[in-house]
Amino acid sequence: MELIHGSKAPDFTLNGSDGKQHKLSDYLGKKVIVYFYPKDNTPGCTLEAEAFRDNAKDLEDQNTVILGISKDSLQSHDKFIAKLDLPFILLSDQEEVVCNLYGVLKEKNMYGKKKIGIERSTFIIDEHGYVQKIYRKVKVDGHVEAILDLLKNNYLPL
Residues 99-142: pLDDT tens digits?
999 999 998 877 788 888 899 999 999 999 999 999 999 999 99
Cβ contacts of 118 within 8 Å, gap of 6 or more: 36, 37, 38, 39, 70, 71, 99, 104, 105, 106
First-to-last alpha carbon distance for the chain, in angstroms, is: 24
pLDDT (mean) for 1-19? 91
For the chain, the domains span 28-152
Q: Which residues participate in catalysis according to the annotation?
A: 45
SS3 at position 34: strand
Specify the 3-state DSSP secondary structure of 114.
strand
- Residues 68-98 have pLDDT tens digits of 999 999 999 999 999 999 999 999 999 999 9
Close Cβ partners of 13 (under 8 Å, ≥ 6 residues apart)? 21, 22, 23, 24
Which CATH superfamily groups domain 28-152? Glutaredoxin (3.40.30.10)
High-pLDDT (> 70) share of the chain, %: 97
The residue type at 136: R
